[in-house]
Amino acid sequence: MSLLTFTDRGIYCPQADVYIDPWKRVEKAVITHAHSDHARWGMGAYLSHYYSAPILRQRLGQDIRLQTVGYGETRTVNGVHISLHPAGHIPGSAQVRLEYQGEIWVVSGDYKVVADGISTPFEPVRCHTFITESTFGLPVYRWQPQEEVIGEIHDWWQANAEAGKASLLIGYALGKAQRLLQYLRDDIGPVYVHGAIALVQDALRSHGVPLRAVTQVTPDIPKEAYRKSLIVAPPNAIGSAWTRKFGAQSLGMASGWMSIRGARRRRAADRGFVLSDHADWDELNQAVEATGASQVFVTHGYSDLFARWLREKGLDAGVVETQFEGELSEINESGAEPDPEVKTETAP
Protein backbone atom coordinates (compact mmCIF):
# COMPACT_ATOMS: atom_id res chain seq x y z
CA MET A 1 0.00 0.00 0.00
CA SER A 2 1.14 3.49 -0.82
CA LEU A 3 2.16 5.74 2.07
CA LEU A 4 -0.35 8.39 0.97
CA THR A 5 -3.56 7.86 -0.96
CA PHE A 6 -6.02 10.28 -2.47
CA THR A 7 -9.54 9.98 -1.18
CA ASP A 8 -12.74 11.96 -1.46
CA ARG A 9 -12.01 13.37 1.99
CA GLY A 10 -8.50 14.48 1.22
CA ILE A 11 -4.92 13.25 1.11
CA TYR A 12 -4.75 10.25 3.47
CA CYS A 13 -2.05 8.26 5.21
CA PRO A 14 -3.63 4.85 6.01
CA GLN A 15 -0.69 3.69 8.16
CA ALA A 16 -1.02 6.67 10.50
CA ASP A 17 -4.77 7.12 9.90
CA VAL A 18 -4.14 10.82 9.35
CA TYR A 19 -5.48 13.21 6.69
CA ILE A 20 -3.67 16.26 5.36
CA ASP A 21 -5.85 19.36 4.86
CA PRO A 22 -9.03 17.23 4.54
CA TRP A 23 -12.18 18.85 3.18
CA LYS A 24 -14.60 16.49 4.88
CA ARG A 25 -14.81 15.64 8.56
CA VAL A 26 -12.20 13.15 9.75
CA GLU A 27 -10.71 12.17 13.09
CA LYS A 28 -7.15 13.37 12.63
CA ALA A 29 -6.06 16.24 10.40
CA VAL A 30 -2.62 17.70 9.75
CA ILE A 31 -3.07 21.29 8.60
CA THR A 32 -0.49 22.89 6.29
CA HIS A 33 -1.70 26.44 6.90
CA ALA A 34 -4.67 28.43 8.16
CA HIS A 35 -6.27 29.54 4.86
CA SER A 36 -9.84 28.37 4.88
CA ASP A 37 -9.64 26.03 1.91
CA HIS A 38 -6.93 24.05 3.69
CA ALA A 39 -8.08 24.34 7.29
CA ARG A 40 -11.73 23.37 7.58
CA TRP A 41 -14.13 23.10 10.41
CA GLY A 42 -15.24 19.93 12.17
CA MET A 43 -12.15 17.70 12.42
CA GLY A 44 -11.75 15.49 15.51
CA ALA A 45 -8.21 16.71 16.14
CA TYR A 46 -5.81 19.09 14.42
CA LEU A 47 -2.05 19.24 14.18
CA SER A 48 -0.44 22.41 12.85
CA HIS A 49 2.55 24.69 13.19
CA TYR A 50 2.61 26.85 16.29
CA TYR A 51 2.09 30.08 14.27
CA SER A 52 -1.08 28.71 12.67
CA ALA A 53 -2.72 28.17 16.04
CA PRO A 54 -4.15 31.65 16.75
CA ILE A 55 -5.82 31.91 13.34
CA LEU A 56 -7.14 28.34 13.44
CA ARG A 57 -8.71 29.02 16.82
CA GLN A 58 -10.07 32.35 15.66
CA ARG A 59 -11.68 30.83 12.59
CA LEU A 60 -12.58 27.28 13.65
CA GLY A 61 -13.37 27.85 17.31
CA GLN A 62 -11.41 28.31 20.53
CA ASP A 63 -12.41 24.80 21.61
CA ILE A 64 -10.92 22.77 18.74
CA ARG A 65 -8.53 19.99 19.73
CA LEU A 66 -5.28 21.39 18.43
CA GLN A 67 -1.68 20.28 18.90
CA THR A 68 1.08 22.47 17.61
CA VAL A 69 4.67 21.76 16.67
CA GLY A 70 7.67 23.76 15.53
CA TYR A 71 9.36 23.25 12.17
CA GLY A 72 11.37 20.03 12.03
CA GLU A 73 9.82 18.59 15.17
CA THR A 74 8.74 15.00 14.64
CA ARG A 75 5.57 13.23 15.83
CA THR A 76 5.42 9.49 15.35
CA VAL A 77 2.04 7.88 14.72
CA ASN A 78 1.94 4.12 14.34
CA GLY A 79 5.47 4.11 13.00
CA VAL A 80 5.01 7.06 10.63
CA HIS A 81 7.30 9.97 11.41
CA ILE A 82 5.44 13.18 10.66
CA SER A 83 7.11 16.58 10.65
CA LEU A 84 6.37 20.08 9.36
CA HIS A 85 8.83 22.14 7.32
CA PRO A 86 8.70 25.78 6.25
CA ALA A 87 6.65 26.39 3.09
CA GLY A 88 7.19 30.17 2.94
CA HIS A 89 3.56 30.80 1.93
CA ILE A 90 2.33 32.67 5.01
CA PRO A 91 3.45 32.69 8.67
CA GLY A 92 3.07 29.17 10.03
CA SER A 93 2.65 27.54 6.63
CA ALA A 94 4.24 24.14 6.34
CA GLN A 95 5.09 21.28 4.06
CA VAL A 96 4.22 17.95 5.61
CA ARG A 97 6.92 15.28 5.56
CA LEU A 98 5.92 11.68 6.24
CA GLU A 99 8.42 8.87 6.61
CA TYR A 100 7.63 5.22 7.04
CA GLN A 101 10.17 2.41 6.85
CA GLY A 102 12.56 4.62 4.91
CA GLU A 103 10.04 5.86 2.34
CA ILE A 104 9.53 9.61 2.35
CA TRP A 105 6.61 11.64 0.99
CA VAL A 106 6.24 15.40 1.18
CA VAL A 107 3.00 17.34 0.74
CA SER A 108 3.81 20.93 -0.21
CA GLY A 109 0.56 22.62 0.73
CA ASP A 110 0.73 26.15 -0.72
CA TYR A 111 4.26 27.49 -0.99
CA LYS A 112 6.68 29.95 -2.44
CA VAL A 113 10.43 29.63 -2.57
CA VAL A 114 11.38 33.30 -2.43
CA ALA A 115 11.59 34.71 1.09
CA ASP A 116 8.94 37.32 1.87
CA GLY A 117 10.44 38.43 5.17
CA ILE A 118 7.46 37.50 7.33
CA SER A 119 7.09 33.76 6.73
CA THR A 120 9.84 31.34 7.70
CA PRO A 121 11.60 30.83 4.34
CA PHE A 122 10.85 27.73 2.29
CA GLU A 123 13.18 24.80 2.86
CA PRO A 124 13.44 22.05 0.27
CA VAL A 125 12.91 18.62 1.79
CA ARG A 126 14.42 15.57 0.10
CA CYS A 127 11.85 12.89 -0.59
CA HIS A 128 10.85 10.06 -2.88
CA THR A 129 7.42 11.43 -3.69
CA PHE A 130 6.47 15.08 -3.75
CA ILE A 131 2.91 16.39 -3.91
CA THR A 132 3.08 19.93 -5.23
CA GLU A 133 0.60 22.69 -5.87
CA SER A 134 0.68 24.35 -9.32
CA THR A 135 -1.45 27.49 -9.00
CA PHE A 136 0.91 29.38 -11.31
CA GLY A 137 2.36 26.45 -13.22
CA LEU A 138 2.93 28.12 -16.60
CA PRO A 139 6.01 30.00 -17.85
CA VAL A 140 4.00 33.21 -18.27
CA TYR A 141 3.91 33.51 -14.50
CA ARG A 142 7.25 34.89 -13.34
CA TRP A 143 7.38 37.29 -10.46
CA GLN A 144 9.54 40.35 -10.18
CA PRO A 145 11.42 40.94 -6.88
CA GLN A 146 9.34 42.04 -3.90
CA GLU A 147 11.27 45.33 -3.53
CA GLU A 148 10.27 46.38 -7.04
CA VAL A 149 6.60 45.73 -6.35
CA ILE A 150 6.75 47.57 -3.05
CA GLY A 151 8.38 50.44 -4.95
CA GLU A 152 5.51 50.48 -7.42
CA ILE A 153 3.01 50.56 -4.57
CA HIS A 154 4.87 53.44 -3.04
CA ASP A 155 4.86 55.41 -6.31
CA TRP A 156 1.17 54.72 -6.72
CA TRP A 157 0.45 55.94 -3.20
CA GLN A 158 2.53 59.05 -3.81
CA ALA A 159 0.71 59.94 -7.04
CA ASN A 160 -2.62 59.42 -5.29
CA ALA A 161 -1.59 61.51 -2.32
CA GLU A 162 -0.52 64.33 -4.63
CA ALA A 163 -3.93 64.15 -6.28
CA GLY A 164 -5.57 64.25 -2.85
CA LYS A 165 -6.80 60.67 -3.07
CA ALA A 166 -6.76 57.79 -0.65
CA SER A 167 -5.07 54.55 -1.77
CA LEU A 168 -7.16 51.44 -1.11
CA LEU A 169 -4.96 48.38 -1.42
CA ILE A 170 -6.57 44.95 -1.60
CA GLY A 171 -4.95 41.71 -0.43
CA TYR A 172 -5.94 38.59 1.48
CA ALA A 173 -6.42 39.25 5.20
CA LEU A 174 -4.09 36.41 6.14
CA GLY A 175 -0.64 36.50 4.59
CA LYS A 176 -0.77 39.08 1.84
CA ALA A 177 -1.91 41.88 4.10
CA GLN A 178 0.86 41.26 6.64
CA ARG A 179 3.43 41.13 3.88
CA LEU A 180 2.25 44.40 2.39
CA LEU A 181 2.13 46.13 5.73
CA GLN A 182 5.53 44.92 6.84
CA TYR A 183 7.40 46.32 3.88
CA LEU A 184 5.74 49.60 3.20
CA ARG A 185 8.40 52.25 3.52
CA ASP A 186 8.19 54.46 6.58
CA ASP A 187 7.65 57.63 4.57
CA ILE A 188 4.42 56.37 3.01
CA GLY A 189 2.19 58.43 5.24
CA PRO A 190 -0.68 57.26 7.42
CA VAL A 191 -1.62 53.59 7.02
CA TYR A 192 -4.92 52.07 8.12
CA VAL A 193 -6.31 48.55 7.92
CA HIS A 194 -9.69 46.86 7.67
CA GLY A 195 -11.00 45.17 10.83
CA ALA A 196 -10.52 41.67 9.38
CA ILE A 197 -6.85 42.41 8.87
CA ALA A 198 -6.42 44.01 12.29
CA LEU A 199 -7.86 40.83 13.79
CA VAL A 200 -5.33 38.62 12.03
CA GLN A 201 -2.48 41.03 12.67
CA ASP A 202 -3.21 41.22 16.40
CA ALA A 203 -3.65 37.46 16.75
CA LEU A 204 -0.30 36.80 15.08
CA ARG A 205 1.47 39.51 17.06
CA SER A 206 0.15 38.29 20.38
CA HIS A 207 1.41 34.86 19.40
CA GLY A 208 4.91 36.15 18.92
CA VAL A 209 5.05 36.60 15.16
CA PRO A 210 7.20 39.71 14.68
CA LEU A 211 4.82 42.01 12.82
CA ARG A 212 4.12 45.73 12.88
CA ALA A 213 1.34 47.21 14.93
CA VAL A 214 -1.46 48.60 12.76
CA THR A 215 -4.25 51.15 13.05
CA GLN A 216 -7.72 49.91 12.32
CA VAL A 217 -10.28 51.99 10.44
CA THR A 218 -12.79 52.98 13.10
CA PRO A 219 -15.81 55.30 13.14
CA ASP A 220 -14.08 57.79 15.47
CA ILE A 221 -11.32 58.57 12.96
CA PRO A 222 -12.25 61.77 11.10
CA LYS A 223 -12.82 61.23 7.39
CA GLU A 224 -10.24 63.84 6.44
CA ALA A 225 -7.58 61.62 7.99
CA TYR A 226 -7.98 59.14 5.12
CA ARG A 227 -7.14 61.61 2.41
CA LYS A 228 -3.61 60.81 1.24
CA SER A 229 -3.54 57.66 3.38
CA LEU A 230 -3.04 54.04 2.44
CA ILE A 231 -5.75 51.61 3.53
CA VAL A 232 -5.22 47.86 3.34
CA ALA A 233 -8.37 45.75 3.05
CA PRO A 234 -9.42 42.21 2.08
CA PRO A 235 -11.12 41.49 -1.29
CA ASN A 236 -14.66 41.49 0.06
CA ALA A 237 -14.28 45.19 0.90
CA ILE A 238 -14.27 46.08 -2.81
CA GLY A 239 -17.31 48.16 -3.64
CA SER A 240 -18.70 47.88 -0.11
CA ALA A 241 -20.26 50.75 1.81
CA TRP A 242 -17.26 50.61 4.13
CA THR A 243 -15.03 52.17 1.45
CA ARG A 244 -17.20 55.27 1.01
CA LYS A 245 -15.82 57.06 4.02
CA PHE A 246 -12.44 57.34 2.31
CA GLY A 247 -13.76 59.78 -0.28
CA ALA A 248 -11.85 60.06 -3.57
CA GLN A 249 -9.73 56.94 -3.86
CA SER A 250 -7.72 54.71 -6.13
CA LEU A 251 -8.18 50.94 -5.95
CA GLY A 252 -5.11 48.70 -6.11
CA MET A 253 -4.95 44.92 -5.93
CA ALA A 254 -1.99 42.77 -5.01
CA SER A 255 -2.14 39.28 -6.47
CA GLY A 256 -0.26 36.95 -8.78
CA TRP A 257 -3.20 37.04 -11.18
CA MET A 258 -2.49 40.71 -11.79
CA SER A 259 0.36 39.69 -14.10
CA ILE A 260 -2.20 38.99 -16.83
CA ARG A 261 -3.66 42.06 -18.46
CA GLY A 262 -7.08 40.51 -19.00
CA ALA A 263 -7.40 39.56 -15.34
CA ARG A 264 -6.31 43.03 -14.33
CA ARG A 265 -8.85 44.74 -16.52
CA ARG A 266 -11.62 42.42 -15.41
CA ARG A 267 -11.16 43.50 -11.80
CA ALA A 268 -11.77 47.13 -12.70
CA ALA A 269 -9.03 47.95 -10.24
CA ASP A 270 -7.11 51.10 -11.02
CA ARG A 271 -3.84 49.30 -10.43
CA GLY A 272 -2.77 45.70 -10.23
CA PHE A 273 0.39 44.78 -8.34
CA VAL A 274 1.93 41.43 -9.11
CA LEU A 275 2.61 40.04 -5.67
CA SER A 276 1.86 36.42 -4.93
CA ASP A 277 2.30 34.07 -2.02
CA HIS A 278 2.46 31.16 -4.44
CA ALA A 279 5.51 29.89 -6.28
CA ASP A 280 5.92 31.18 -9.83
CA TRP A 281 6.98 28.95 -12.71
CA ASP A 282 10.69 29.09 -11.92
CA GLU A 283 10.11 28.46 -8.22
CA LEU A 284 7.87 25.46 -8.89
CA ASN A 285 10.55 23.90 -11.07
CA GLN A 286 13.26 24.75 -8.60
CA ALA A 287 11.26 23.26 -5.72
CA VAL A 288 10.48 20.03 -7.53
CA GLU A 289 14.09 19.58 -8.50
CA ALA A 290 15.38 20.29 -4.99
CA THR A 291 13.30 17.49 -3.47
CA GLY A 292 15.13 14.96 -5.60
CA ALA A 293 11.78 13.17 -5.90
CA SER A 294 11.35 10.71 -8.74
CA GLN A 295 7.60 10.67 -8.37
CA VAL A 296 5.53 13.86 -8.35
CA PHE A 297 1.82 14.43 -7.95
CA VAL A 298 0.52 17.79 -9.05
CA THR A 299 -2.56 19.31 -7.45
CA HIS A 300 -4.51 22.54 -7.61
CA GLY A 301 -3.63 24.86 -10.47
CA TYR A 302 -2.58 24.13 -14.04
CA SER A 303 -2.00 20.60 -12.80
CA ASP A 304 -2.35 18.65 -16.03
CA LEU A 305 -0.01 21.02 -17.88
CA PHE A 306 2.62 21.17 -15.18
CA ALA A 307 2.51 17.37 -14.82
CA ARG A 308 2.98 16.96 -18.57
CA TRP A 309 5.95 19.31 -18.44
CA LEU A 310 7.51 17.30 -15.61
CA ARG A 311 6.92 14.05 -17.48
CA GLU A 312 8.73 15.46 -20.50
CA LYS A 313 11.63 16.23 -18.19
CA GLY A 314 11.70 12.54 -17.26
CA LEU A 315 9.85 12.54 -13.95
CA ASP A 316 7.04 10.18 -13.08
CA ALA A 317 4.37 12.87 -12.66
CA GLY A 318 0.62 12.56 -12.30
CA VAL A 319 -2.34 14.76 -11.50
CA VAL A 320 -4.37 14.61 -8.32
CA GLU A 321 -7.77 16.19 -8.06
CA THR A 322 -8.19 18.06 -4.80
CA GLN A 323 -10.62 20.61 -3.52
CA PHE A 324 -8.01 23.22 -2.85
CA GLU A 325 -8.47 26.47 -4.64
CA GLY A 326 -6.39 25.75 -7.74
CA GLU A 327 -7.94 27.33 -10.78
CA LEU A 328 -10.72 28.63 -8.60
CA SER A 329 -8.51 30.82 -6.56
CA GLU A 330 -8.65 33.51 -9.18
CA ILE A 331 -12.36 33.82 -8.67
CA ASN A 332 -12.02 33.84 -4.96
CA GLU A 333 -9.36 36.49 -5.06
CA SER A 334 -11.90 38.79 -6.61
CA GLY A 335 -14.33 38.15 -3.80
CA ALA A 336 -14.02 36.89 -0.26
CA GLU A 337 -11.64 34.20 0.83
CA PRO A 338 -13.11 30.84 -0.06
CA ASP A 339 -15.76 29.68 2.32
CA PRO A 340 -15.58 25.90 2.82
CA GLU A 341 -19.33 25.59 3.19
CA VAL A 342 -19.93 27.12 -0.20
CA LYS A 343 -16.93 25.66 -1.94
CA THR A 344 -18.00 22.03 -1.95
CA GLU A 345 -21.30 22.80 -3.65
CA THR A 346 -21.54 22.63 -7.39
CA ALA A 347 -23.09 25.73 -8.86
CA PRO A 348 -25.71 26.70 -9.62
Partner 1 sequence: MKHFAHLIESLDQTTKTNAKVDHLVDFFAAADDPDKVWAIALFSGKRPKRTVSSTLLRQWAAEASGFPAWLFEESYHVVGDLAETVALFLPPPTDSTETRTLSEWMDLLQSLAGVEEADKEQAILAAWRSLSTQERFVFNKLITGGFRIGVSQKLMVKALARHTGQPENVVSHRLMGNWKPQTIQFHDLLFGQDAGDDLSRPYPFFLAYPLENTPDTLGNPADWQAEWKWDGIRSQLIFRENTLFLWSRGEELITPKFPELETLAASLPARTVIDGELLPFKNGSPLSFQVLQTRIGRKNVTKKILADCPVVIMAYDLLEWQGKDLRELPLQERRAILAELVLTVGQSDLLRLSPEVTFNDWDQLADLRSQARDHLAEGLMLKRRSSAYQVGRKKGDWWKWKVDPLSVDAVMIYAQRGHGRRANLFSDYTFAVWDEDQLVPFAKAYSGLTDAEMQQVDAWIKRNTVDKFGPVRRVIPELVFEIGFEGIAYSPRHKSGIAVRFPRMLRWRTDKKAKDADHIQALRELLGSEIPP
Site string for partner 1, 191-230 (x = CB under 8 A): ----------------------------------------
Of 132 and 303, CB closest to partner 1: 303
Least separation, in Å, of the C-beta of 27 and partner 1?
A: 28
Window contacting partner 1 (CB under 8 A); options: 25-33, 86-94, 192-200, 259-267? 259-267
Window contacting partner 1 (CB under 8 A); options: 126-134, 140-148, 173-181, 187-195? 140-148
CA 322/CA 46 separation, integer angstroms: 19
> Which residues from 298-337 bind partner 1, rule CB under 8 A?
302, 305, 308-309, 312, 327-328, 330-331, 334
User: Among residues 259, 291, 299, 322, which is the contact residue for partner 1, using CB under 8 A?
Assistant: 259
Least separation, in Å, of the C-beta of 195 and partner 1?
A: 25
User: Among residues 78, 268, 311, 341, which is the contact residue for partner 1, using CB under 8 A?
Assistant: 268
User: Among residues 1, 62, 140, 206, which is the contact residue for partner 1, using CB under 8 A?
Assistant: 140
Query: Is residue 147 involved in binding partner 1 (CB under 8 A)?
Result: no
Q: How many CB atoms lie within 10 A of CB 41?
A: 12
Of 200 and 307, CB closest to partner 1: 307
Least separation, in Å, of the C-beta of 142 and partner 1?
A: 7
Least separation, in Å, of the C-beta of 309 and partner 1?
A: 6
CA 338/CA 330 separation, integer angstroms: 11
> Binding-site residue total for partner 1 (CB under 8 A)?
29
CA 158/CA 41 separation, integer angstroms: 42
Handedness of CA 87, 48, 303, 324 (dihedral sign): negative
